[in-house]
């Protein structure tokens, strides 16, 4: 497969596609609302550059991503009343259950009333259900609009 063919199949490298999901960005990182949210606020942190592993990030990009996580997560949790709890999940490598090669870190806000309280492992199963759970853009757009206001988001792209 030619590199150009590969990038076509990678939704996180298609800037036009992800633009409508982005609600925060930094120099090297996009924060997207997940198209397959397992709970409200389920977001993804992705590097703007195509990499498949944390160790493929340049140090500057890795620091930028951690800074984005540290900035966004507390505000996201507050917005969704998540009471300081969240799951950070990354599936890296071909046997990890990943759905996309492009590095992406899930942030799942949690609270004591969410559907996973009695069955925490189900969260990881649901993260893999992906296409089945996919919502229509019009279903998640209101959440994205709310978060863009929270983060006073102005697209860089």
Interacting residues with Zn ion (CB under 5 A): 10, 12-13, 50, 102
Annotated active-site residue 138? The verdict is no
Tokens found for residue 83? 């009471």
Provide CB contacts within 8 A for 143, sequence distance 6+: 33, 37, 40, 41
Query: Is there a contact between 157 and 32 (Cβ–Cβ < 8 Å)?
Result: no
Q: How far is the CB of 61 from Zn ion (least distance, A)?
A: 13
Residue 8 to residue 26: CA distance in whole angstroms: 24
CB of 26 to Zn ion, least distance (A): 17
Query: Exposed e or buried b for every residue in 46-76, given b needs 16+ CB within 10 A?
Result: bbbebbbeeeebeeebbebbeebbeebbeeb
| 17 versus 120: smaller Cβ distance to Zn ion | 17
Closer of 44 and 77 to Zn ion (Cβ) = 44
Shortest Cβ 13–Zn ion spacing (Å): 3
Name the residue nearer to Zn ion (CB basis): 101 or 143.
Answer: 101
- Taking the complex as a whole, the smallest distance from the CB of residue 146 to Zn ion amounts, in Å, to 27
Contacts for 156 with CB less than 8 Å, ≥ 6 apart: 25
Q: Residue 65 or residue 77: which is nearer to Zn ion going by CB? A: 65
Distance between CA 61 and CA 70 in Å, rounded?
A: 14
Catalytic residue among 50, 104, 138, 156: 104
Active site positions, annotated: 104
């Amino acid at each position: 497969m030619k590199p150009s063919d590969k990038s076509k199949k990678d939704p996180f490298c298609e800037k036009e596609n992800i633009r409508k999901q982005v609600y925060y960005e930094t120099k090297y990182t996009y924060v997207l609302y997940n198209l397959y949210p397992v709970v409200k606020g389920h977001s993804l942190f992705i590097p703007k550059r195509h990499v498949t592993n944390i160790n493929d990030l340049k140090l500057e990009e890795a620091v930028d991503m951690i800074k984005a996580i540290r900035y966004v997560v507390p505000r996201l949790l507050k917005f969704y009343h998540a009471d300081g709890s969240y799951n950070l999940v990354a599936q890296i490598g071909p046997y990890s259950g990943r759905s996309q090669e492009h590095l992406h870190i899930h942030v799942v806000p949690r609270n004591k009333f969410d559907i996973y309280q009695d069955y925490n492992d189900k969260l990881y199963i649901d993260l893999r259900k992906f296409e089945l759970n996919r919502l229509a853009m019009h279903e998640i757009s209101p959440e994205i609009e709310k978060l863009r206001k929270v983060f006073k988001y102005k697209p860089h792209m």
